[in-house]
Amino acid sequence: MTTSAAVIDDAAAYARAVQDAGRAAAAYYAGGTSTLDDDAYDRLVRGIAAWEAEHPGQVLPDSPTGKVAGGAAEGDVPHIVPMLSLDNVFSAEEFTAWTVSLGRRIGREVTRFHVGPKLDGLAVAARYSNGRLTRLITRGDGTAGEDVSHAIGTIEGLPAALAEPVTVEVRGEVLMTTAQFEHANEVRTAHGGQPFANPRNAAAGTLRAKERAYTVPMTFFGYGLLPVPGTTPALTERLDTSAHSDLMELAAGLGIHTSARTAVPDTVAQDPEQVLARVQEIAAARADLPFGIDGIVIKADLAADRQAAGSGSRAPRWAIAYKLPAVEKITRLLEVEWNVGRTGIIAPRAVLEPVVIDGSTVTYATLHNPADITRRGLLLGDHVMVHRAGDVIPRIEAPVAHLRTGDERPIAFPEHCPRCGSDIDTREERWRCAQGRNCHLVASLAYAAGRDQLDIEGLGQTRIVQLVDAGLVGDLADLFTLQRDQLLGLDRMGETSTDNLLAAIAKAKTQPLSRVLCALGIRGTGRSMSRRIARHFATMDHVRAADAGAMQQVEGIGAEKAPSIVAELAELAPLIDRLTAAGISMTEPGATPPATAEAGPGGDGTAGAPAGSGPLAGMAVVVTGAMTGALERLTRNEMNELVERAGGRSSSSVSKKTTLVVAGEGAGSKRAKAEQLGIRLATPEEFAALVAGFLD
């Protein structure tokens, strides 16, 4: 995880590097426009530090190693106590070494640690006088910062009045959540402005902007509370002597937003091992957080330990930032591809100049739809900020507008379906080929035949292409009327393969309704939604008879989705009729139609086995990690089907409502979240024993 250092081999390169770092830091803290991404900046500073270690007599006064980060910003309001920065570590080894040196400095082991997310925003000091927010100041050079009190009222979590009339300074980070960032860029570009490259820049630019025609909300996270002139002696004493964990509780009690109610609340750790375990948990949760973090901040919790450690001119010695790998990099947008999916959706995809983010090379990023491209104001050739965290598909956050050269070109939207040349239906945000799912017949048939849908063995992509090219199959229903001699007439289809394929197709006719629904590829309904619809309605006739209101009775289907599902089912009516005529089972075993199931099994669309009967009755189960033992061969979908057969409800995300998490090998953030919420965990083997009677 250690960030490698930039190579600096002479004094001139060193001076240049110091200048580059200064320019980047100024941009970073001042105007919301970065010239280097975080990773590149960290590498540069490490290179500078390495050169300085070899040439201690030649350290330049402007070196970023000797000063408070962000020192380039101008400020006119003095800070009561300097606003310092933090030193960084990049690995468990470096962290352990830091605890050892801290222990040596204070002459004893640190009593306990406070561990919390390192919010990726910018530091501000908020002064409250008799409980009223009177002044907001940026960090500036650490000794004095800029007055940004005009932003009061636009920052969620920083109330105009505290719960008690105290005089105190709250310090913390102002940032934009992902949703606030998207909103800010939409509003900004609608007003003719350039989009911000990432949430951090957006928060920096927005905080400092004085006269804007619009305001966009930001979010505050408090991480410090200190006395100011006017603070009562009793409160001063309390602030000076309290453990950091108590100060954070006090802040939350006053109405200040802290990390407490997020998925990564601050915690207390008794020793370095516990700290490292918590670091792993926070790192695992990072990809799913609705705000950016760039590390974990670890502090000595007790005031006595902090006082004994003291502070240097740049950073306190009692705290350290454990930096996580950067999830954002700047690269170039080379091309936009338009791909037609199995349902006929024409989706844009960004082709990028390859860039390594957290160890993987990123070449593509999602772009949701044409409107998304317009909203983001993207141009071909743009430098773009790319975000990639965990297993989530990389996304473009925004163009880095100030790096534009003028050579960028508009992105051309297709006028005809790029696959079949038909017209494009542009009525909805997501464009669709007028041929719908017939446009990419091979993809839609391959999906329908897949293991989690109709599970037709021997019907892979190549065979489907063969069948379509030979004119034997024009839609899903045609599969079920294929004749033996038709198949025998095809290349590489002997008697055995033909009979095997026909047997597999015949077997598919007995698949439950949930899998048939899924095979139809109704937009917005994947495997788990198809199961819920099937359990709720029990038969295809009931599904088809449902209007939007009835469809909304299914858990997870809201007012927006219901009409589109109903409309799509209507569009599919001729195909469904032919499937029924071909003898496909159109019922869900164990489920009862809604009219007769007011209080009965499956009536709420969630239960699998008769309600209250299976071993998982009333339980919400999440499966994560690789399955082993008796469950080894089950796909995630089959695991979810098993959960539902055994009376439980399957879900893909862990929340307070989850009752059991089946955690296999390599389980990461979901397991961590379950542990944090105190949810029961089971190994695949324990779970297999629990549902033994329901395994096929």
Out of 102, 133, 137, 321, which residue is the one contacting ligand IVH (CB under 6 A)?
321
Annotation marks residue 507 as catalytic: no
Tokens of 684: 């695949």
Give Cα 348 distance to the centre of its chain. Answer: 20
Q: CB 258 → ligand IVH: shortest distance, Å?
A: 9
Q: Which stretch binds ligand IVH (CB under 6 A): 315-323, 378-386, 428-436, 597-605?
A: 315-323
Q: Tell me the closest approach of the beta carbon of residue 243 to ligand IVH, in angstroms.
A: 14
The residue from 27, 30, 297, 505 that contacts ligand IVH (CB under 6 A) is 297
How would you list the strands of the sheet with 113-119, edge to edge?
88-89, 319-323, 293-300, 113-119, 267-269
Pairing of the two strands 346-357 and 144-145: unpaired
Among 114, 118, 188, 535, binds ligand IVH (CB under 6 A): 118
Phi-psi region of 139 (alpha: psi -120 to 50; beta: other; left: phi over 0): alpha
Considering beta carbons, is residue 118 or 432 the nearer one to ligand IVH?
118
* Closer residue to ligand IVH, CB minimum distance, 250 or 586: 250
Contact 159, 133 (CB under 8 A): yes
* CB 316, min distance to ligand IVH, A: 5
**Minimal distance in Å, beta carbon 300 to ligand IVH?**
12
CB of 359 to ligand IVH, least distance (A): 23
C-beta of 670: minimal distance to ligand IVH in Å? 24
Rounded Cα–Cα distance for residues 332 and 382 (Å): 6
State the catalytic residue, choosing from 118, 299, 561, 670.
Answer: 118
The answer to whether the Cα torsion of 569, 572, 574, 576 is positive or negative is negative
Distance, in Å, from the CA atom of 408 to the CA atom of 393, rounded to the nearest integer, reads 25
- The answer to the question of residue 688 lying near ligand IVH (CB under 6 A) is no
- C-beta closer to ligand IVH: residue 244 or 535: 244
Nearer to ligand IVH, 321 or 623 (CB): 321
Instruction: Work out how close the CB of 296 gets to ligand IVH at its nearest, in angstroms, rounded to a whole number.
Output: 8
Q: How far is the CB of 107 from ligand IVH (least distance, A)?
A: 22
Q: Inter-axis angle of helices 561-571 and 573-581, to 10 degrees?
A: 60
Q: What is the DSSP letter of 1?
A: -
Binding residue for ligand IVH (CB under 6 A) from 64, 195, 199, 316? Answer: 316
Measure the CA–CA gap between 644 and 614, rounded to whole angstroms.
9
Among 21-29, 115-123, 505-513, 628-636, the segment contacting ligand IVH (CB under 6 A): 115-123
Dist CA 332 CA 157 (whole Å): 36
Rounded CA-CA distance 30/208 in Å is: 8
Distances from the Cα of 424 to the Cαs of 366, 479, 505, in angstroms? 20, 28, 33
SS3 481: helix
Count, residues near ligand IVH per rule CB under 6 A: 13
Of the residues 6, 48, 119, 690, which one makes contact with ligand IVH according to CB under 6 A = 119
Residue whose CB is less far from ligand IVH, 3 or 453:
3
Q: Closer to ligand IVH at the Cβ: 45 or 660?
A: 45
SS3 233: helix
Q: How many CB atoms lie within 10 A of CB 305?
A: 22
Q: Position 216: which residue type?
A: V
Contacts of 650-653 with C-beta under 8 Å, sequence gap 24+, read: 650/528, 650/621, 650/622, 650/623, 651/620, 651/621, 651/622, 652/528, 652/622, 653/622
d(CA 616, CA 500): 37
Judge contact between 192 and 230, C-beta under 8 A: no
Shortest CB 89 distance to ligand IVH, Å: 12
Min dist. Cβ of residue 179 to ligand IVH (A): 20
Phi-psi region of 629 (alpha: psi -120 to 50; beta: other; left: phi over 0): left
Amino acid at 143: T
Residues 120-149 that bind ligand IVH (CB under 6 A): 123
- Could you give the 3-state DSSP secondary structure of residue 253? helix
- Structure tokens belonging to residue 148: 């940004």
Binding to ligand IVH (CB under 6 A) within 46-105 occurs at 84-86
Residue number with CB closer to ligand IVH (86 or 621): 86
User: Do 504 and 458 touch, CB atoms closer than 8 A?
Assistant: yes
Residue showing the smallest CB distance to ligand IVH in the complex: 123
* CB nearer to ligand IVH: pick between 142 and 394: 142
* Cβ nearer to ligand IVH, comparing 323 with 437: 323
Q: Are 158 and 257 in contact (CB under 8 A)?
A: yes
* Cα–Cα dist 134/589, whole Å: 65
**What does the chain come to in residues?**
696
Question: CA 640, CA 567: separation in Å to the nearest integer?
Answer: 27
User: What is the C-alpha end-to-end distance of the chain, expressed in Å?
Assistant: 44
Q: Are 17 and 60 in contact (CB under 8 A)?
A: no
Nearer to ligand IVH, 259 or 453 (CB): 259
Residue 303 beta carbon to ligand IVH: minimum distance, rounded to whole angstroms: 14
Q: Nearer Cβ to ligand IVH, position 48 or 373? A: 48
Which position among 223, 322, 480, 694 is part of the footprint of ligand IVH (CB under 6 A)? 223
Site string (166-205) toward ligand IVH, x via CB under 6 A: -------x--------------------------------
Residues near ligand IVH, by CB under 6 A: 84-86, 116, 118-119, 123, 173, 223, 297, 316, 319, 321
Question: Would you please indicate which residues are annotated as catalytic (active-site) residues?
Answer: 118
